[in-house]
Each structure stands twice: as C-alpha cells, then as structure tokens.
Structure 1
C-alpha cells in the first residue's frame, strides 16, 4: 500500500467517525465502498486499524475510543484540542485544492496574495530551539525597509494574516511583525533565554487580535445585538471572555473584558445598526468619533 493510500485512509476513518459512531465492520464496509469509488484499496485488517488509531492520535491529536456497550468506535471530543480542529480544517481544504481543477464550476476560492507562510515553518523551528531570527521588514507606514533582529516567542493568526511576536533587539520591546512583510529570513546561531515573567497566554488574554495598548487598561464592555445577529455572536464568540447577559426574542446582550483597540472598534462597526454599545462610555465615544469622521467624508458628496 502506498503512502498516499495510507494517509487518505486515515482521513476517511476520521471523516466517518466525525459524522457517526461506527463498528469495525461498518468502518470496513465504508472503506470498501470508498475503494470502489476512488479506485484505490483502503481496506484493512483489524490489527492495521488499531495501528491507524495510534497514528491518528499522534498526527491529529484525536482520541478514538471504543464503546464496549454499543461495540462502536467514536472520537472522544472532550479530549479534542483546538489545534486538532484546525489540522482537520486544513486537511479538508487541502483535499479540496487537490480536486479544484475538476470542480472549478462548484468551488470559488478567495483571491488574495500569499500570506508569508513560506517562512512559518522556519520561524516555528527558531522559536522551538530559542534561536534569534534576522529579516528585512517592510512596514506599510514607512517608505523603506529595515533590518530586524528579534527573539521570536510565538506566531499568531489574525484576519487571514500570520504574525510573529518577539523582543526586538534594538529597543528590547515586544512587537509583532506580519509574515507577509518579512523577507530574507535568517535563523541565526544566536541563542536566547525567554523571560520567565512573560506569559504569552496572559499577554493576549484581554486583546482583540494582535495589538496591545500601551496603558493596558482592561474594560468591561457590554454590547447589545438584535436577536438574529445574536445567533451568530453566540455561535462564534467575539472574545474568549464573552459572557451572555440577555438572550431572548428582543435582545442578545453580552459582556466582555477587553482592551479598547482600533481593531475592536472596527469589529463593532462591522455589525452596523445591529449592535449598540451599552458601556463603557470611552468605547461609545470612540465609535461616535469614527462614525462622525465617516459622515464628514460623505456630507457634501
């Protein structure tokens, strides 16, 4: 059996168990059906299936368990990490890309420039091995490139962009750098020791996106949405601190503990007239200023 068939078989097993618990017989019949459909041989013995369970756990962080009462296998969701969800999502998309040429009339991908992910693996290796990285950086608000040397701590995704966070050797400040503006990346031989006082999870806990305000003031934000928009906010929370205060036929109200940043204001404005800031007053004023500024642009047009 080829490596391609083995990897595809793992994916088929996962897909089957994502949708329904199944006995080994049902899984075998499913693999047999897919073999006939795709022209490959995905059928396996029970012994090989047990090895596949171990491989799935190692590759995807998915724990497949056996229910002795129903005699069926299932994915233990309480042990499933967020990272494993993203791995499966990426694999789903990868498989779509493989057949996108044949399905052009059914699938339309967003057209966008490369996100700098060609440097992602190298940066992660530098973080893991505590090696400083050097690169040329092009800021949008500057006309010239600059050479940077940083201690990389973590990579973070926000709004379809990837960023690396680390301490800039020039001023010893923790900053973010967008991967799509990085070029000529070099993983140096210079080692660094990460500060014991910097907790990355805590660093971002009250942020929306990637920016941290200088004063680091945390606000209790209360937002009121109309019921329809509330369904979307409930299914995809704005922030990990989100707490539902009201959820009825006339209003969906939430509370957040968060920094007030421009990105957060833009997120609120994206909901238009379907959201109202209840408090704090500081956020209300920021939203008003942006709206009045937009009004001035169109007032005489």
Structure 2
C-alpha cells in the first residue's frame, strides 16, 4: 500500500483524469498531469512506476475497487486509461453545511446566465450540481450581471472553453476588424473576457508565437487532430499585469509611467474605481494619478472614454499622440458643421 504523504492528492488528480471522457490519457500523460499539479502544490515529482502502483492500488478491491480500464489507442501497443463507468468516483463528495450554503449561492449566481446562447454550456453544469447535491437555487430574481446577448461569436464560447480545458487544438476561419479573412490553427491556452467581449489566447503554428483572437470575429471553428503544443513559456497569472485589456502585441514594449489629470468632478470616480492595479495618486489637489503599463489600444480607448474630463500629462510622446487624435476628430466635426452652414 502506498504510504507517500501525497498519495491522496495523487488519487484525486488521477480520479479526475479517469473521469474525463473528453480526453484520452496515456500513462505518460497521467505522469505529466500528476507532476504538473504536484509541482505547483508540493514541488515534488513522481515516476511512471509510482503512477502504475497508484493505478494498481486504486483498482484493488480492498481499497477503492476503481473500474480503471486500459483502452487501445490503435497506435502500436499504446493505451489510454479511463473509468468504465462514467459516473464513478473514488470520492464521495460529502459537503458540510457551510459548504452547501456557499454552493447554493454559487448556483444562484451561475443560474443568472441560464438561457443565453453564450452560456448554454452552463446549463448542464448547474443541473448536475443541483441534482448531485440536491440543491435548488432561490427562484427570486435578486442579482443581475452585465451580459450582451447580441454579441457575435457567443455560440463558440462553450466550445472554446471546453477545448482550452482539455488541451484540444482547433482550426478557425477568422475575419479581422479590417475585413481580412484567414485560417489558423490554435493551441488554446487561456480564455479571457474584457469589456463584454471574449478572447482566446494560444500558440499559433504559423507565427511560432502566442496569438489572440476575439470570438466575435471567428467565422467557424472545428477540432484539429494535430498534437497539442504545451504552454511552457507563459504564466497567465501575471501575463496581463502590465496592460489594460488583453492586447500585448509585443512583449518587448517597455512599461511607461502614464500620468493623467482629471476634472475635479470625475476625480473621485477614478479614485474609487482605479484604471489599473498600478494606479497611484500623484497630487490630490491637481487631481493627477499615475499608472505603469505597456501602452496598447485598450489604454487609448479607455482614455478617450473619459474625454473631456481627462488630460494626458506625460510621457510627452503619448500626450502628443492623444492630442493629434483629438485634433483629427475635431476636424471631422468642423467639416460637418461647415457643411451645414454652407447648406
């Protein structure tokens, strides 16, 4: 019987893998999956032999009697491992009264997303939670979340999330904001929402780099049968720390200290709802704040959303850029006004 202090943690990881009927875990992938989780939590690494011992122990009638079966992959003698019974788990999932209370609140919040094309995938998750733990949400309509049901691309959201979770590469037909169409194969790493839009970030074979795609510009999507390119370079826990939004076209772009001055009436709002996590107050009397970010389109759009209550103080090049854009915009209004006058 395994006596390693991390045995229970390994069993939980393996139990999750054997219960996953959307991925075929080979013995090598089981080793990778366990080590990836263990290294994050304990810093330890286990061997293939240990995984085989764990499978044997979990199968044992006196321990868990788990119905773990090896299925041929059709590639030589390689096999993948999975429970024969899709509903089996070695853990009974008993919850405390406090955990049930928290789960009920979670189900109630998730339930607010029911019935929309973007979140149809939640229906099965919520229903399973309600059935499994005999928890029914409060039927009163007490909470609302911002949700744009008219946004294009929402029909792809559940599929993209699912393929990201299960490390499934996919092929997309994409149309850029300039109307240029192209095809791409993406190895999805991360899904993020910003400003009511959804984006998927992943490795692009063509560019040998991370690319970002807005779901509302995806025209079609389908699974690819190529091997998944594992993410060994990007930590998405910190990837967005130095930007606003999601766009980081070039990681070599330096971080700039942006100083902004606001009108007195708008300044309290900016203090109560910081523009970025790096925000600091420079001068209360002058209503100025600073943020340390890599300038991108989302930053520019955010600044324009505060006009006419904001002024870019520095850096000089960024101040000039924003000023030029404002002048260009004023010319359009002036041209319209002149046309009306002449008419």
1:298 paired with 2:343, answer: no
The verdict on how the C-alpha distance between 1:193 and 1:171 changes in structure 2, with shifts beyond 3 A counting, is: closer
1:169 paired with 2:205, answer: yes
1:165-244 correspondence runs (5 A): 165-214=201-250, 215-244=252-281
Q: Write the deviation string for residues 117-166 of structure 1: whole angstroms up to 9, x where unpaired.
A: 322222222222212111221222135x3222111111111221101111
Structure 2 gap ranges (5+): 1-94, 116-140, 339-343
Which residue in the other structure is 1:273 paired with?
A: 308
- Equivalenced residue count is 213
Query: Of residues 278, 283, 294 in structure 1, which corresponds to 2:318?
Result: 283
The verdict on how the C-alpha distance between 1:88 and 1:156 changes in structure 2, with shifts beyond 3 A counting, is: farther
Q: Write the deviation string for residues 279-299 of structure 1: whole angstroms up to 9, x where unpaired.
A: 111210111110111122233
Secondary structure at the counterpart of residue 325 of structure 2: helix
TM-score by length of 1: 0.61
The verdict on how the C-alpha distance between 1:292 and 1:89 changes in structure 2, with shifts beyond 3 A counting, is: farther
Query: Of residues 118, 121, 130 in structure 1, which corresponds to 2:155?
Result: 118
1:130-169 correspondence runs (5 A): 130-143=167-180, 145-169=181-205
Cα distance, 1:258 vs. partner?
0.6
Secondary structure at the counterpart of residue 248 of structure 2: coil
Cα distance, 1:201 vs. partner?
3.1
Q: Write the deviation string for residues 72-110 of structure 1: whole angstroms up to 9, x where unpaired.
A: xxxxxxxxxxxxxxx876645669xxxxxxx9xxx9x98
The verdict on how the C-alpha distance between 1:93 and 1:128 changes in structure 2, with shifts beyond 3 A counting, is: closer
1:261 paired with 2:296, answer: yes
Check conservation: 2:188, 2:203, Cα contact below 8 A.
yes
Q: CA RMSD in A?
A: 3.0
Whichever of the two has the greater Rg, that structure is 2
Secondary structure at the counterpart of residue 203 of structure 1: coil
TM-score by length of 2: 0.55
Segment of structure 1 superposing worse, 269-278 or 114-123: 114-123
Secondary structure at the counterpart of residue 169 of structure 2: strand
Cα distance, 1:252 vs. partner?
2.9
Secondary structure at the counterpart of residue 171 of structure 1: coil
Query: Of residues 53, 73, 80 in structure 1, which corresponds to 2:98?
Result: 53
Higher helix content, 1 or 2: 1
Segment of structure 1 superposing worse, 159-168 or 187-196: 187-196
Cα distance, 1:177 vs. partner?
0.9
Find the aligned partners of 2:215 and 2:156 in 1 and give their Cα distance.
7
Find the aligned partners of 1:259 and 1:176 in 2 and give their Cα distance.
17
Structure 1 gap ranges (5+): 1-49, 62-86, 96-102
